Structure formats: structure tokens, C-alpha cells
Amino acid sequence: MALKRITAIIITINLKENKTIFDKITPCLMAVLYATISQGINSYLIS
């Protein structure tokens, strides 16, 4: 899926750049949150 690819890119960029742990984790959490919300909306629309 495109979302997994985007998430992987975000994680890769964050690992390459020298940031604090919080700055590394936040985009990952946002990506997971977005994936969860979009999946919830999709399943709601399908049902």
C-alpha cells in the first residue's frame, strides 16, 4: 500500500537525520494514527 511506503519513507528520513528521540517517534505515531483513522473510515463506509 502507498501508506506503508510513506510511513517507511518518514521513518527512514527520521533515522538518517540526527534528531531527538521525541522528534523521531512523533511522525511515526502520526503515521500510525492516520492509518488507524483512515482504516476506521474505510470499514465504516464499507459496512
Residue-range definition of the domain harbouring residue 7:
2-46
**What is the domain count for the chain?**
1
Q: What does pLDDT average to in each consecutive run of 10 residues of the chain (47 residues)? A: 79 69 77 89 83
- The neighbour count for residue 4, using CB atoms within 10 Å, is 10
- The neighbour count for residue 34, using CB atoms within 10 Å, is 13
Distance CA 35, CA 17 (A): 24
Can you give the pLDDT at residue 18?
A: 62
pTM over 0.85: no
- The cell 502520526 sits on which residue? 30
